[in-house]
Every structure is written in C-alpha cells, then in structure tokens.
C-alpha cells in the first residue's frame, strides 16, 4: 500500500537569526523567525510525512507553546517524525521539495541538505530532490520578506515487519 502526502511551510525573514535550511546554516544577513530553528524545508517535509498517514501536522506534534521545542533543530524533530512513520509500518519511498526565496542563491547547499535528510530518514540520497527557485521579485518571497517551502512524499507499507 502506498500513501502520498504534501506539506507547506512559510516563515518571515528577520535580523539576528540564523538561516537554516535542510539542516544547513547558510551565511546571510537574515534568518527565519520561528519557535524552533524555523527550517521551512524540514517543516514542509515533516508535514508531508505526517499528512501521508493522516497524523495531523507539525503544530499538533510540536506546539510552539511548548518550551522544550524553543530553538530546537528541525532535524531533531524530523527524527521523531521518521520514528513515528516507521512505528506505523511504513517507509519513505521518495521526497520531492521546493524552497522559494529571492536570495541568497542555494545551489551550492542543496546536496548537503539532501545528505542531511537522507541520514535522518534512512533513504538513499537519490530518492530525495530539493529544488530552489525565486518568484521573480513578486510577493513576500520575491521582495525578501520571507521563505516558503513545499514538499511531496510517497510512503509504502514496509516489508521489514
């Protein structure tokens, strides 16, 4: 049995925060505002994974009112979500995602982001795709006010059980 999920996340760019995407710290004058490290890519992937099994969203699992998640690495949260997926008897087939932001350019960081996700969810790196695009200076991402990310995942019933 196969299941498909999609995810979306958005965060505002602000001063005095690190820009973390896919678990990679990217040098930039702005970072993403959020309760955790605000990694929009990992958040979109987690929402897609949870959605594929009708398990709600990251806000239900990691509420921003809970101090134990304040400043936490989203990679750590992804580890928890992956354990949940495995405990339900599923494994990840593939992940396809998009990061939308005007700048900085992300091409040089995409492979490391894929590596980080691959290690956490225990799938081959060639089954993870991350694209980066701009919105041609349109909207809140185009004018540099924020970053958004989309993800689609496919899960299958695991043969390991």
Residues comprising the binding site?
A: 9-11, 35-36, 43, 57-59, 62-66, 133-136, 140
User: Pick from 126, 129, 41: which is nearest to 78 by CA?
Assistant: 41
Q: Which residues are annotated as a binding site for a divalent metal cation?
A: 9, 11, 43
User: CA separation (Å) from 120 to 30, 38, 40, 67, 142?
Assistant: 26, 18, 16, 23, 31
User: Pick from 44, 33, 49: which is nearest to 9 by CA?
Assistant: 44
Q: Residue 97 in contact with residue 133, Cβ under 8 Å? A: no
């Amino acid at each position: 049995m196969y299941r498909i999920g999609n995810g979306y996340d958005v965060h505002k760019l602000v001063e005095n925060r690190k820009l973390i995407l896919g678990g990679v710290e990217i040098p930039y004058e702005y970072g993403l505002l959020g309760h955790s490290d605000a990694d929009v890519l990992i958040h979109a992937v987690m929402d897609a994974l949870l959605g594929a099994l009708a398990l709600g969203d990251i806000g239900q699992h990691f509420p921003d009112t809970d101090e134990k998640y304040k400043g936490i690495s989203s990679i750590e949260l992804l580890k928890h979500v992956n354990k949940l997926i495995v405990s339900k008897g599923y494994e990840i087939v593939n992940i396809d995602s998009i990061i939308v932001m005007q700048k900085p350019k992300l091409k040089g960081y995409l492979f490391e982001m894929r590596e980080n996700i691959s290690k956490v969810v225990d799938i081959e790196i060639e089954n993870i795709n991350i694209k980066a695009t701009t919105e041609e200076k349109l909207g809140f991402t185009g004018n540099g006010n924020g970053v958004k990310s989309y993800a689609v995942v496919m899960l299958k019933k695991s043969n390991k059980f």
